[in-house]
Structure 1
Amino acid sequence: MTFYSFAKGIFRLQFRLMGWKVQGVENMPCEGPVILAINHVSMWDPVVAACSVPRHVSFMAKEELFSLPILGKIFSRLGAFPVKRGHGDMNAIRQSLAILKGGGVLGLFPEGTRSKTGEIQKGMPGMVLLMEKSQASVVPVKVRGTKHMFTKGWGKITIVLGQPLTAQMLKVPEGVENRREWIADRIMQAMIELPEAK
């Protein structure tokens, strides 16, 4: 058993005890490159999202987290890798593409940072670059109830996975100046329109 599988099993048990609800797992492709595009309200979002799908998910995370003495090593062992925010971090892009071109699953928070209001914010077009270069499908994921999870999240954690989106499905109309921004907006809109878990 890998460290990832062990940690995932422990957290899944904890989340079940907390009464989490997961919907749309059948929308997750069983194989091939996939980008999980997840809204971001809490540091627990990657853990909850990874536990909600059957496949191994590698996350891009801000590089500051990897300088923390213990947590940095845990993140690395879980397959996460650092990204320098506010730059075009070519190392992070190359690592992301390597994961996707190897048929893996990449977890992304296209808003770029946590939403202070809980409302889903504008998505960054870098997600579309990865989608196009790797021919990965994008699965929009809406996570709720993770803010103050262990004090206020009991019975409120929900995860909904939407239908996979591909570049072929997101045809950009003529006259659009920034095509990647337009596609990113469509993906974020699909995330916003996901129903609340029942």
Structure 2
Amino acid sequence: MSKLYSFGQFLCRVFFRMFFRVRVIGKENIPEHGSVLLCSNHIHELDPPFVGAFIKRQTRYMAKAELFEKPILKSLLPKLGAFPIRRGMSDRQALRTGLKLLSEEQMIGVFPEGTRSKTGTLGKGLAGVGFFALRSNAQVVPCAIIGNYKLFSKITIVYGSPVDMETLREQRATAEEATDKIMEGIQGILNEYV
């Protein structure tokens, strides 16, 4: 983990603990080593730092390509380990980058819905997350953010038990089928804790 990322994590923890009533559940479900695909629902633009702030490993995020065009973010995001993805199309370079990171036993954080939910309910997942799950040996950890980011309100993050992908890999399932299984894992957490 880079020093910059570690410092950023610290600042994020301080920020979230200062302005929200944070509850963290299931940190033990994040494998300490090996490739991990961390898949979360998406309700707010603060989700990426919130998902990564309370765990020991560095999380590499795919971020929309437009962010890499902003003056400060274009130099900061790569230093924090983020890489760009062009939304609304098949971005082969982003897929290659993601698979390379997973082959290097890193952890990638993804929001399978591809955009924030306006209603707070879980939307349909995009096939890209299923592609990563099937084409790598990554452990797939579902994650759910519950609550809202109103000042001093309660917000919970739950890291669930890894989703079994081995059977789908053996059956040569489609990326869509793998994505559906991952989304079931996220929805299961929401059903249990909401």
- Asked if Structure 1 and Structure 2 have the same fold, meaning a TM-score greater than 0.5 normalized by the shorter chain, the answer is yes
CA shift, 1:73, in A, is: 2.2
CA separation in 1, counterparts of 2:36 and 2:77?
20
- The answer to whether the aligner puts 1:14 opposite 2:9 as a matched pair is no
Report what 2:164 is aligned to.
Answer: 166
Structure 1 counterpart of 2:24, one-letter code = V
- The answer to whether the aligner puts 1:54 opposite 2:56 as a matched pair is yes
CA shift, 1:130, in A, is: 1.0
- Residue by residue, what CA displacement relative to the aligned partner does 1:108-163 show, whole Å, maximum 9, x if unpaired? 010011111110011112111111221111100001234xx2xx142322100110
- Residue by residue, what CA displacement relative to the aligned partner does 1:161-184 show, whole Å, maximum 9, x if unpaired? 11012321547989xxx7321221
Whether the aligned pair in 1 keeps the contact of 2:134 and 2:178 (CA below 8 Å) is no
What TM-score, normalized by structure 2, do the two folds share? 0.90
Report what 2:178 is aligned to.
Answer: 183
CA separation in 2, counterparts of 1:173 and 1:69?
46
Superposed, which structure 2 residues align to 1:91-170 within 5 Å?
91-146=93-148, 149=149, 152-170=150-168
Instruction: Give structure 1 regions of 4+ aligned residues with deviation exceeding 4 angstroms.
Output: 169-174
CA separation in 2, counterparts of 1:173 and 1:34?
21
Structure 2 counterpart of 1:180, one-letter code = A
Structure 2 segments unaligned to the other structure (5+ residues): none
Structure 1 segments unaligned to the other structure (5+ residues): none
Whether the aligned pair in 2 keeps the contact of 1:52 and 1:159 (CA below 8 Å) is no
Superposed, which structure 2 residues align to 1:62-73 within 5 Å?
62-73=64-75
CA separation in 1, counterparts of 2:74 and 2:147?
25
CA separation in 1, counterparts of 2:151 and 2:42?
15
Whether the aligned pair in 2 keeps the contact of 1:172 and 1:179 (CA below 8 Å) is no
- Judged with a 3 Å threshold, the aligned counterparts in structure 2 of structure 1 residues 171 and 103 are, in CA distance, closer, same or farther, namely closer
Q: Secondary structure at the match of 1:54?
A: coil
Aligned-residue CA RMSD (Å): 2.0
Whether the aligned pair in 2 keeps the contact of 1:96 and 1:106 (CA below 8 Å) is yes
